[in-house]
Amino acid sequence: MIRIIITLLLTIFSFTASLFSQEITGDWYGKLDIQGTALRINFHVNEKEGVYTTTMDSPDQGAMGIPTDKTTFLNNTITISLKKLGVTFNGALNMDEIKGIFSQSGMKLPLNLSRKKIEAIKPKARPQDPKEPFNYIAEEITFVNKSANNIKLSGTLTIPNGIKNPPVAVLISGSGPQNRNEELLNHRPFLVLADYLSSNGIAVLRFDDRGVAKSEGVFKDATSADFATDVEAAVAYLQTRTDINTKKIGLIGHSEGGFIAPMVAAKNKKIAFIVSLAGTGVDGAEVLRTQANKAMELEGTAQDHINFNDKMTKYIYGLLKKEKNNAVLKQKMTAYLKNARNEAPKSIAAVLTDDGITKQIKTITSPWMSYFIKTDPKQFLCKVKCPVLAINGEKDFQVLPELNLNGFKNSLKKSKDVTTLELKGLNHLFQTCKTGTFNEYAQIEETFSPKALKIIGDWINERF
């Protein structure tokens, strides 16, 4: 999935550290380099009666004035911490510069700060970014989710020129807060996908996740079931339009979006089709466990480390599925992990500190993660009757292709039109790649394989 990766990225730049000076108070500016993507961070340091406080801005995310937990400045060394996210910044002040290290959950990145404001970094254009003139209409739209306190969701509807009442697809993003373009590491896959489909006769509605960009609502603690109601609201909106075919409304979901699409179609029999792009065909526990194993394998992790981690993961996820009492669940998880560190390889034991265990348990028992781990998509897939295309990249390490495509094939019993494809040489984002690792995502110039785009467009047009 993308969630774990995206959550890491967001906490890196949405919550961090700060600074101080021979005159440490005031505004400080810096940027993190995360896999080739620059993320601006501003710190605002105040002092009152010898006590320092700091707020942080992440302007590239639209997050401003975030309070940190604790700031200390001693011997020209600044330390800023945000305990609930496991974030610490340590920096050394030298005149009007602070050179430091940002740390989170074992990961360390250099972060240097100065008094000079850093202007917005213009995103680098990728080769597949659409260029005008477009042979379709692009309309800014809003719709309301009545089942979520009437929040307004904003998006873009693209409608092909010269085609009366075309079929339409709603794009459903992967996990983690995403804008309508599913923007990640300076790639905009949903923008590229919408451009291709609407240039080939298919209307597309893509929208900002709740609480992201122009959409209202709160993203934090929402589950996949909550996001499904946003998609239902998008479908309801499309049914009010007179310029698309309301009998040919389909869903295209990427990653978690491929899990959400069958949830919607299982309830709404008027959904005309589903396209799953690296969607999950087995329960979240199996997805995350196999994802972790494959990621460690690609990084060259020792097999005993992989095996031990897998053993712990199975046990912890098993507890989460069985234990209904949350307090008892956390007690059992804590006891197990403290005992496990006595037997674990050194690399794992080093992470299983008391504080590390607390953070792990908080993440695993959060509403989104708990729902994802416990929920088997089979319960939705078995009710889907519309045509389904499920595709995965051969080198996808986040949602393993064979495991999850088989999940789709084995569960889609009521649909008479099911196509599953494993696309050679593509990763989780459907980029042509060498290894499929996360490190490649930003480095690859291709945003979305033309081969995959053609498969999606042809499959829909052949049916509608």
Domain containing residue 103: CATH number:
2.40.128.120
Going by pLDDT thresholds of 50, 70 and 90, the confidence category of residue 85 is low
Residue 19 pLDDT > 50: no
Residue 16 pLDDT > 50: no
Q: Which of 334, 354, 373 corresponds to the end of one domain?
A: 373
pLDDT value of position 40 = 86
Q: Is residue 122 assigned to a domain?
A: no
Going by pLDDT thresholds of 50, 70 and 90, the confidence category of residue 184 is confident
Going by pLDDT thresholds of 50, 70 and 90, the confidence category of residue 61 is low
Going by pLDDT thresholds of 50, 70 and 90, the confidence category of residue 185 is confident
Q: Is the same domain home to 72 and 107?
A: yes
CA distance 364 to 375: 14
Which residues have CB under 8 Å from 151's CB, separation 6+? 144, 145, 210, 215, 216, 217
Residue 94 pLDDT > 80: yes
Q: Is the same domain home to 272 and 149?
A: yes
Going by pLDDT thresholds of 50, 70 and 90, the confidence category of residue 157 is very high
Q: Is the same domain home to 267 and 313?
A: no
- What's the CATH number where 243 sits? 3.40.50.1820
Sign of the alpha-carbon dihedral angle for 12, 311, 426, 414: negative
How are beta strands 151-160 and 203-207 bridged, if at all?
A: antiparallel
Q: Is residue 1 assigned to a domain?
A: no
Determine the structural domain holding residue 313 and report its residue range. 284-373
Q: Is the same domain home to 253 and 297?
A: no
Q: Is the same domain home to 293 and 437?
A: no
Which residues have CB under 8 Å from 418's CB, separation 6+? 387, 388, 390, 408, 409, 412
Q: Is residue 130 assigned to a domain?
A: no
User: What's the whole-model pTM score?
Assistant: 0.80
pLDDT, tens digit, 9 for 90 and up, residues 317-327:
999 999 999 99
Q: Is the same domain home to 29 and 168?
A: no
Q: Is residue 243 assigned to a domain?
A: yes
Task: Provide, rounded to the nearest whole percent, the portion of the chain with pLDDT above 90.
Answer: 75
Least confident of 81-90, 155-164, 195-204: 81-90
Q: Is residue 126 assigned to a domain?
A: no
Q: Which of 114, 146, 179 corresponds to the end of one domain?
A: 114
Q: Is the same domain home to 349 and 269?
A: no
pLDDT value of position 222 = 96
Q: Is the same domain home to 42 and 179?
A: no
Q: Is residue 120 assigned to a domain?
A: no
Q: What's the average model confidence in pLDDT over 199-227?
A: 95
